[in-house]
Chain A
């Protein structure tokens, strides 16, 4: 990210807490040259107010409580005098896609440098004023200090603003010992606005003269409207317009699904209007999609050799001469995001320009898509980011935002698009469906001498390019090619899996099913070898070491975009989280408790989970306690790291117990929380214990990595309790929950 001296753009913004359209007063001062504005992220006003821009979307991970605090601490600001501005989508901030558990791991140092530049300028201004060398001064508590003398940031802001911005090589970061606030639990800055109802989410904003739109989308992805009759919809009181949506062309990507929109004075009228629409659909090519039948296709697919993805030694020979074979097939269905806030977006259009307010993870992609749909230059689009009522990858996709933009132009009034829960469940970008076949060869002493993993899933790339035939290297790094195995013969293959649904990212993505299969299979190997599952897992992972590409049997590893030198695959860290989680869970003295263990590295972070299951009064499986240990390197906000791990247990439990969107005739069979179930409070574990490993290593992802080990740990615990091995999610299908 290039951090250059640029001025804040004036204009309007939504204050997330207040929800009003406010004049951007402080930034207007900045654009008139007052105060210190060394870059697009920090502004120090002459009254001492510090404004820090948060250019990532708040969706529950606590990024607004974390990134600005990091900058403020590096600067030496008093957190009470820092105001957070939510950034609009703008390339000047660099990438804004709040995705891939990347906010801290990719920006930790850059953002500290941004703040350090501002600090250096304030110190230089004070040094000039006092006529003393800059290196004798310190910035802390919102002032620059020379012994007991001090000058407040506000007093220095104008003078500092006239100084040159330090060159990158001149910028020095504070030693960690000087950071007074971060690397511990930080206050939740948006807590008060959330608990009094003031926080503004996607559907909470309104503009004068606005209509609410609810859209009847083709039931099958790629389907079309043949004809429709708006009469009965228009007869519903409050309904003002019925507008046909544009038909997506080519790969679906972020395009709106098409269909017919009903615009009304209020949401209820729009919903009733939609019910009254008469539409004849052409379901299109995906109408043949039957997920039960497809499951059989995937099973057949993994029983044939696939395309090699990873190869060490000679698996087939080793399997041929093994004393014993262990083989198991695993299946995980399409999973839906179902954030508590269904997609919604507000747009207005005028003078060839479009302005939207949306709970989007990726405001820049939203702008690109709006510009494409409207045929206007991207510079004529503005995207303001509201709070996101959950996202989990769903709101990286801009389809719902460009729907609003299109309708605002067509209707010539501001339009808020509201998705119903049924729309959300039926028209999701589902996580890929997956089947795997794992085969291991054991020698006469029970040592694992061969590991063969075949995986079949339709990759996300099919959503953007229908000609994509199978997973790419970047897909397989999620639990296939990056899996550390102390096994002399390893081979991974990808098998055919054509796409018939709209596939997208869901929190931890392909790691969900790869970790489920590998984490379950390693446990199966333990039992096959009559070994303690933890000892067996540690043996399969092997001794503490940095795992090389040669050992993995691959030419390269995407490694979540991080250099392997900085973020190697370090089995010592994986072993440590396993040891810490099992120690917390009292694994060695578990007696009759049914514990299941799994561990997984994803998004550069190492997580181990131990799950305890019991039978409830009805004889069904319940999770009563969970222990999670995570090594994410440097952690800026320890409390939000913990809360992400707590949440990951519940998110993983929902997938494991109930997850699964199934399709018949290309139509998703589920529609709302009665048939796309989530874990409820009464089912939540009594206790979730989380340990975050203290580390000064480079920061890793936090938001996603907690999820992958949960489902296999549950399945392993169920085996410990019942002797029943469940290889297919959701558990509900086996009748155990």
Chain B
């Protein structure tokens, strides 16, 4: 039995501790906001926070989350009001939207550590999150907007 906190709630999961956290979230807990894109930590679509740190849930065994706190896109804010979520909507960042939960989760961890990130920090932090639609420019602008910085 794996005991962990997911979006603030205590959960017990009767699963193989080797099961990637991604599939525990999606298939067992029904939290489908976290996406499968590659299974090898190459695309970032599955990004969640584990004790506040960015992890790629597709390669993180759920056993590693034992006794720890997981935040997914569903738990980033109670009502979509996180400054990043608002900035994402204001600037109409998403195209297909599939990668955006991962992008936002990575950006949220960045802003928590570096409230006014430099361009290089943004690029470096988000380099692990692929977007096939090509929304990178708007993501950068939305991060700056959420951080209260000039967008260009």
Name A's B-contacting residues (CB within 8 A): 19, 58-62, 185, 187-188, 190-192, 194-201, 203-204, 206, 212, 237, 265-268, 271, 338-342, 387-392, 418, 420-421, 639-640, 643-644, 646-651, 654, 672-674, 678-682, 684-688
Write the nearest CB–CB distance from B29 to chain A, whole angstroms: 11
Which chain B residues (66-124) contact chain A, with CB distance < 8 Å? 72-74, 76-77, 79-80, 84-85, 88-89, 92-101, 104, 119, 122-124
Cβ contacts under 8 Å, B119 to chain A: 686
Distance of A187 Cα from B119 Cα, bound (Å): 27
Q: 24 A-B residue contacts at CB 8 Å?
A: A62-B95, A195-B80, A195-B104, A197-B72, A203-B36, A267-B36, A268-B23, A339-B132, A340-B43, A340-B132, A341-B98, A389-B35, A421-B43, A643-B138, A649-B134, A651-B132, A672-B38, A673-B43, A674-B40, A680-B127, A682-B126, A682-B127, A684-B136, A686-B119
Cβ contacts under 8 Å, B132 to chain A: 338-340, 390, 392, 651, 654, 678
**Is B19 among interface residues, defined by CB-CB distance under 8 A?**
yes
Which among B37, B85, B95 is the interface contact of A195 at CB below 8 angstroms?
Answer: B85
A197 touches B42 (CB 8 A): no
Which among A58, A192, A204, A682 is the interface contact of B32 at CB below 8 angstroms?
Answer: A204
Interface size class of B (residues with CB under 8 A): 35 or more
Write the nearest CB–CB distance from A568 to chain B, whole angstroms: 31
Closest to B95 in A: A60
Distance of A365 Cα from B72 Cα, bound (Å): 36
Name B's interface SS.
Answer: loop
Which among A185, A191, A388, A654 is the interface contact of B96 at CB below 8 angstroms?
Answer: A388
Distance of A340 Cα from B130 Cα, bound (Å): 8
Cβ contacts under 8 Å, B51 to chain A: none
Cβ contacts under 8 Å, A237 to chain B: 16
Write the nearest CB–CB distance from B81 to chain A, whole angstroms: 9
Distance of A161 Cα from B95 Cα, bound (Å): 37
Which among B20, B28, B79, B92 is the interface contact of A191 at CB below 8 angstroms?
Answer: B92
Write the nearest CB–CB distance from A116 to chain B, whole angstroms: 28
B134 touches A340 (CB 8 A): no
Q: With A60-B95, A651-B132, A681-B129 given, is the CB distance from A197 to B39 under 8 Å? A: no
Distance of A389 Cα from B32 Cα, bound (Å): 13
Which chain B residues (13-37) contact chain A, with CB distance < 8 Å? 16, 19-20, 23, 26-28, 30-37
Which among A338, A640, A646, A649 is the interface contact of B138 at CB below 8 angstroms?
Answer: A646
**Is B137 among interface residues, defined by CB-CB distance under 8 A?**
yes
Write the nearest CB–CB distance from A272 to chain B, whole angstroms: 9
Q: With A340-B45, A673-B43, A682-B123 given, is the CB distance from A389 to B135 under 8 Å? A: no
Interface contacts beyond A194-B101, A266-B27, A673-B42: sample of 19 additional A-B pairs, CB < 8 Å, sorted by A: A62-B95, A188-B94, A191-B93, A195-B89, A197-B31, A197-B33, A197-B34, A267-B36, A388-B96, A391-B96, A420-B39, A421-B42, A644-B95, A673-B40, A680-B128, A681-B122, A681-B131, A682-B124, A682-B127
Cβ contacts under 8 Å, A198 to chain B: 33, 74
**Is B3 among interface residues, defined by CB-CB distance under 8 A?**
no
A387 touches B33 (CB 8 A): no
A687 touches B152 (CB 8 A): yes
Distance of A460 Cα from B32 Cα, bound (Å): 35
Distance of A688 Cα from B139 Cα, bound (Å): 13
